[in-house]
């Protein structure tokens, strides 16, 4: 068999693992600006290493070839010099890794929360029960039936918005109001295609009227700064604000009819 000179299998394995690691960092940290938590990256890399080793040792010859250079390093007397160097470096690296991983990092704990939790089928607000599967915006129909009236309703919604919501969600509905930087989690950006455009008006009514404390546990209700708006606004005002949110951003609410 004519064998071309090629990269030793051990080096191949190291290069593949390194390549995957660098791509992760480049993709998330540099390109997307979404830092991967260290613990998560460690877990991913564990799978990558395990997977690559499995592929490389799939055949007996493959495995032999892979560990060959390592065995040679230990057993071949002519490689004594390199062996001594490796035998110093490896324990030093192990010691250093142990030391740094035992030093506490004091990074804030990760908090994973669901931003758009699944809505309940029913909820209570304004002293009554609402059925989310049938709930509709009572003003939506005027969009076709009476456009002049609809325009007025949107305007009334805008007035409610600017007096109550803009502080966090912003004049431009981009989630960057004057108080937004003081909040964690940050307010939702309604201009974003991933927010109100993906939701039904009834979902918005539920989220607005019951606010942060009305969220299910997976959405971490204890940290949401969204007020419980049924304490401050009327039902009609909330429905009008919802009209305004869609009108200003030019988005359409999802509805059963359109699905």
Radius of gyration from C-alpha coordinates of the chain: 29
Q: Which member of 1, 184, 250, 258 binds other proteins (CB under 8 A)? A: 184
Q: How many chain residues interact with other proteins (CB under 8 A)?
A: 55
Q: Which of 4, 78, 106, 148 binds other proteins (CB under 8 A)?
A: 106
Asked if 26 touches other proteins (CB under 8 A), the answer is no
Query: Is residue 177 a contact partner of residue 190, using CB atoms and an 8 Å limit?
Result: no
User: Quick check: 91 and 196 in contact, CB under 8 A?
Assistant: no
161-165 long-range Cβ contacts below 8 angstroms, 24+ apart: 161/241, 161/244, 161/245, 164/229, 164/232, 164/233, 164/241, 165/241
Task: Give the Cα separation of 190 and 197 in Å (integer).
Answer: 8
| For other proteins, the closer CB: 66 or 220 | 220
* Given 225, 235, 236, 254, the residue binding other proteins (CB under 8 A): 225
CB 166, min distance to other proteins, A: 7
Indicate the DSSP class of residue 24.
Answer: H
Q: Under rule CB under 8 A, which residues in 47-86 are in contact with other proteins?
A: 71, 74-75, 83
Among 27, 85, 90, 115, binds other proteins (CB under 8 A): 90
Show the tokens assigned to 105.
Answer: 């990092």
Helices 235-249 and 201-210 cross at an angle (nearest 10°) of 130
CA 208, CA 223: separation in Å to the nearest integer?
Answer: 16
Residue 141 dihedral angles phi and psi, to the nearest 5°: -60, -25
By rule CB under 8 A, what string of x and - marks binding of each residue 137-156 to other proteins? --------------------
> Of 214 and 253, which has the nearer Cβ to other proteins?
214
Q: Does 234 bind other proteins (CB under 8 A)?
A: no
**Which of 21, 220, 236, 254: binder of other proteins (CB under 8 A)?**
220
12 near other proteins, judged by CB under 8 A? no
Map residue 234 onto helix, strand or coil: coil
Q: Is 108 in the site for other proteins (CB under 8 A)?
A: yes
Type and span of the H or E element at 122: strand 122-125
Contacts with other proteins by CB under 8 A lie at: 71, 74-75, 83, 87, 90-92, 94-96, 98-99, 102-104, 106-109, 111-113, 158-159, 161-163, 166-167, 170-172, 174, 176-179, 181-184, 211-213, 217, 220-223, 225, 227-228, 231-232
């Amino acid at each position: 068999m004519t064998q071309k000179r090629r990269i030793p299998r051990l080096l191949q394995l190291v290069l593949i693992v390194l390549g995957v690691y660098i791509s992760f960092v480049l993709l998330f940290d540099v390109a997307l600006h979404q830092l991967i938590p260290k613990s998560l990256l460690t877990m991913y890399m564990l799978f990558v290493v395990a997977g690559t080793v499995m592929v490389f040792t799939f055949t007996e010859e493959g495995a032999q070839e892979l560990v060959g250079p390592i065995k040679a390093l230990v057993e071949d007397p002519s490689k004594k010099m390199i062996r001594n160097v490796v035998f110093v470096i490896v324990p030093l690296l192990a010691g250093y890794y142990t030391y740094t991983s035992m030093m506490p990092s004091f990074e804030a704990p990760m908090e994973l929360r669901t931003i758009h939790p699944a809505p309940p089928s029913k909820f209570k607000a304004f002293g009554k029960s609402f059925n989310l599967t049938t709930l509709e915006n009572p003003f939506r129909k005027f969009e076709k039936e009476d456009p002049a009236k609809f325009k007025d309703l949107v305007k009334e919604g805008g007035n409610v918005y600017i007096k109550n919501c803009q502080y966090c969600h912003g004049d431009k509905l981009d989630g960057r109001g004057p108080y937004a930087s003081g909040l964690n989690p940050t307010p939702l950006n309604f201009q974003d295609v991933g927010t109100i455009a993906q939701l039904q008006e009834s979902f918005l009514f539920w989220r607005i009227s019951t606010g942060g404390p009305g969220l299910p546990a997976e959405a971490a209700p204890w940290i949401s700064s969204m007020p419980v708006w049924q304490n401050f606004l009327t039902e009609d005002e909330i429905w009008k604000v919802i009209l305004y949110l869609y009108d200003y951003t030019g988005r359409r609410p999802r509805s059963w009819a359109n699905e």
